Every structure is written in C-alpha cells, then in structure tokens.
C-alpha cells in the first residue's frame, strides 16, 4: 500500500472515474425491499477540502457502541459552498464511539457522531434521567457531559413537536423540538431544527452531551405534540413529521457541496470529518478506490423509506476470510454509530470458526469470543472488486473479557435476520466518502499502521 496523503489530481480523477451499479440476486435479497436509486441533488464533483480541521477526542465507556437507529433494527439479535474539517474523537474502552464539537449559539458541546441516525439533540438542563424501567434516578447516572444551559435560539417548532428515539442498545431520548444555529467546522447552519432532551434513559461516557445524526430525512423522529411522558405521546407513523436534518440543511443552504467524508486514525484516538469534500488523510492507497451506489432499502415500518434514501446502504460483492470467499449479496448499512460488523449468521459463524482457536458464541453477549491471543484469519469485505482488509488488531477486543471463560470478544457478530452493518471496525480501515449528491459512496483503503 502507499503511505501517502491525498494527492489532489490523481486521487480526484480516480475517485470520479465511473459509477458502480450494485448487482444483487433476488433470491439472496428476498427478505429486503429495494428501490432504484434516485438522486436528490445534482451529482457533484468531490473537491479536496482545504478548510477547517478539528480534532477527534477519545473517551472510555463500558461496552460496544450501538447508539444508532441502524443498530436498533436488529437489536433483538444483539441487544447489549464552503468546506470544512472537523476532528472526531474515539470513545469507550472496547467499543468505539466517535465525537466532535458543535457550537449551539455561544455554547461549544461535545456530541457523538452517527451516520446511522438523522436527529441532532443535546441533553437539556434539569433533564430527567431514568433507568430501564422508566423510574427517575440521579442525573449523573445517565453519564452525560455538561448539559446544555441555554434555550432554543429561535423558539419552539410550531405547531408543537417533540422528538422520540430509541437506539440499538435500548437507550431512549425524548424532548421538545426547536430552532438553533449550529456551527460545525466553522460552517453555521441557520435555524436548524433540533431537540433539547428533557427525558433520557442513557448510559454515556461522561464527556459527550448529545448526538449529531447525519443520515437522511426519512430517518428523522419528530412527532406532533408537546414532549410529555412517553406513555402520553403518540409515536405512530401517522403522527410522524419528517424534517430536514443537519447535513441536509447544510447543503440546502448552499454552505457545502453534498459530500462529507470520515477518516478515522488508528492508534491515535483521532480522525477527521470533512464537510463538503475529502480530508488530507494519511496512508491512503489511491490505486484502489471503490465506488458503490447507495441503495434505497425498506428496513423499517416507515413508508417513506420504501421510496426515499434513509440509511447509507450499499451491497458489497462479498467477503473473503482465510482461503474462502462468500459472494452472496446483502445490503449493509455504513454506520459510525455501531462498533462491530454485523453479518448474516452463517457467514459470521464461518468467519469466527476461522480464528485459531475457533471463536465460540456466548449467548449472554450475543457475540463471539476466542482466546485473547488467538491467530486472526485474513478478513476482507469486497467492494467493487477490491478487497478491503480489516486490520487483525481491530478484530479482537482484548478489553472485553468474559470473566468466566477469560475469552475476548471478536469484532465479527451475527446480524440475525438483518439489517447487516459495516461499523467502526471497517471504517478504521478506509477513508469513507458519503457522496450524497451522486447517491454514491466511495471507499479508499488505508495502510495498516
């Protein structure tokens, strides 16, 4: 691989060369509903960004990260034009969360970064922290960083609306909706619709104070009516209100081209989020750039998702592990809000059996475990004919040890009936470009280091 930063002319030409139409077999895809891609914006050139950079900070937590709407879809299987750069930060001990700083009015707040959900919110002063059963507990138990001390800059949404969202690990957030100016990477989105959460069941890292959702409008979770106790709120599909999430508003206001990208740096608890283009990441192999169409996939009971983009979904060519190759076609969600890679059960089992010694499934974690010093097989996801190898050091979580067996958790998990997810384990090994304007994703492999 090349140890190289982004080289504008060559890399740009490679990145823009052609479009890959994802092929799939109806027999392989019978449990999913797919629609032909429709481009919401005119396709845009991907420019090299030269703007603002913010660091990504690392925090420690207690479990793998599933703070994502994408994760909740299969939670029953695994519950446990200006441009700018923005640093993102790793969090948690053996699961990785990524966070970045956003300014709400005059307040700078650290927020989780999630490409698998669309709502942006902060925890509000005087919020109610609850346990799993809805009983009030001390605020400190929810593990937030500083609560937002202000109010909605431009008042509440009219007619009154509230957000209600449940994430993949069971956490629940609700609160009123209003308008505020949100600044990220020196780009200010005016009058963005956001939530100030006044009631949460949350298990945070004591540093971040909310979440920034970067997915499509079809995944927003606003509902008519004031924010009341959950039992009094109507969260039916008919009461849902679709609105413009942060990145959609950023593009609609003409602040950036319809592209953002994420590069996560290994061994430094850091990375870069680039608004409107590509970050100057190191270790890129620009001779192997995979371009994949985003696919409209109906995975949730929201009618809009059958005809609108919702998740950042692609269909890989298959997987290679050890000496075997599996070329069955399934849609995978690209999700920074989920730590592990969730695969079809038979494939996840086969890959985990290729560890030496074989990984075994522990039902209490809904995950596979092997010796903490196991030999990891070569594992790659195949995208547009290119093999994107996963770094062996990312595939065993040595901080996640079962106290009875003394085995460590692997990074390849079963996704049950789906959906399947390429989480942070994959994203640590590639620069990922969300080319929304072209309804495509680009992937550039990064050198192991």
Beta strand 341-343 pairing with 107-114: unpaired
| Catalytic residue from among 119, 317, 335, 424 | 335
Q: Do the beta carbons of residue 272 and residue 421 sit within 8 Å? A: no
Q: Dig out the tokens for 102 from the structure.
A: 């956003």
Asked whether the bond before 357 is cis by omega within 30 degrees of 0, the reply is yes
Q: Can 114 be counted among the known catalytic residues?
A: yes
The residue assigned the tokens 């990922």 is 432
Nearest to 103 by CA among 20, 183, 33, 38: 183
3-state DSSP assignment of residue 404: coil
Q: Do the beta carbons of residue 94 and residue 394 sit within 8 Å? A: no
Q: List, as own/partner pairs, every contact residues 227-233 make where C-beta atoms lie below 8 angstroms and the sequence separation is at least 24, other chains included.
A: 227/162, 227/163, 227/174, 227/175, 227/176, 227/198, 227/199, 228/162, 229/199, 230/134, 230/164, 230/172, 230/174, 230/199, 233/162, 233/164, 233/174
Q: Can 417 be counted among the known catalytic residues?
A: no
Q: Dig out the tokens for 211 from the structure.
A: 């979440």
Residues 6+ apart with CB under 8 A from 403: none
Q: Which residues are catalytic?
A: 114, 335
């Amino acid at each position: 691989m090349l140890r190289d930063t982004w080289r504008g002319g060559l890399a740009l030409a490679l990145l823009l060369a052609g479009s890959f139409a994802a092929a799939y077999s109806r027999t392989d895809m019978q449990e999913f509903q797919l629609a032909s891609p429709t481009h919401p914006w005119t396709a845009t050139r991907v420019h090299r960004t030269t703007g603002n950079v913010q660091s990504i900070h690392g925090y420690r937590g207690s479990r793998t990260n599933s703070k994502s709407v994408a994760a909740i879809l299969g939670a029953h299987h695994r519950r446990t034009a200006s441009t700018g750069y923005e640093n993102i930060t790793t969090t948690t001990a053996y699961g990785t969360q990524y966070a970045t700083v956003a300014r709400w009015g005059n307040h700078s707040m650290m927020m989780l970064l999630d490409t698998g959900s669309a709502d942006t919110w902060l925890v509000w002063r005087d919020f109610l922290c609850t346990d799993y059963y809805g009983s009030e507990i001390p605020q400190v138990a929810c593990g937030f960083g500083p609560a937002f001390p202000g109010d909605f800059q431009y008042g509440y949404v009219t007619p009154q609306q509230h957000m209600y969202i449940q994430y993949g690990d069971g956490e629940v957030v609700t609160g009123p909706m209003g308008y505020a100016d949100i600044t990220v990477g020196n780009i200010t989105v005016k009058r963005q619709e956001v939530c100030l959460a006044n009631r949460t069941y949350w298990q945070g890292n004591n540093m971040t104070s909310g979440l920034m959702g970067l997915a499509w409008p079809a995944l927003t979770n606003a509902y008519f009516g004031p924010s009341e106790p959950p039992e009094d709120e109507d969260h039916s599909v008919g009461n849902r209100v679709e609105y413009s999430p942060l990145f959609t508003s950023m593009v609609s206001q003409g602040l950036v081209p319809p592209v953002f990208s994420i590069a996560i740096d290994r061994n430094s608890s850091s990375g870069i989020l680039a608004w409107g283009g590509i970050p100057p990441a190191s270790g890129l192999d620009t001779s192997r750039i995979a371009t994949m169409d985003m696919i409209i996939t109906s995975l949730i009971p929201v009618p809009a998702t059958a005809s609108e983009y919702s998740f950042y979904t692609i269909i890989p060519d298959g997987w290679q592990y050890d000496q075997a190759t599996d070329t069955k076609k399934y849609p995978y969600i690209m999700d920074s809000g989920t730590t592990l890679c969730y695969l079809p059960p038979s494939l996840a089992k086969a890959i985990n059996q290729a560890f030496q010694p074989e990984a075994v499934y522990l039902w209490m974690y809904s995950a596979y475990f092997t010796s903490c010093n196991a030999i990891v097989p070569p594992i790659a996801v195949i995208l547009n004919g290119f093999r994107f190898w996963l770094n062996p050091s990312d595939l065993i979580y040595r901080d996640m040890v079962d106290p009875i067996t003394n085995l460590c958790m692997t990074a390849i998990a079963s996704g049950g009936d789906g959906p399947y997810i390429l989480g942070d384990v994959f994203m640590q090994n590639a620069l990922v470009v969300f080319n929304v304007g072209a309804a495509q994703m680009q992937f550039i492999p990064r050198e192991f280091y």
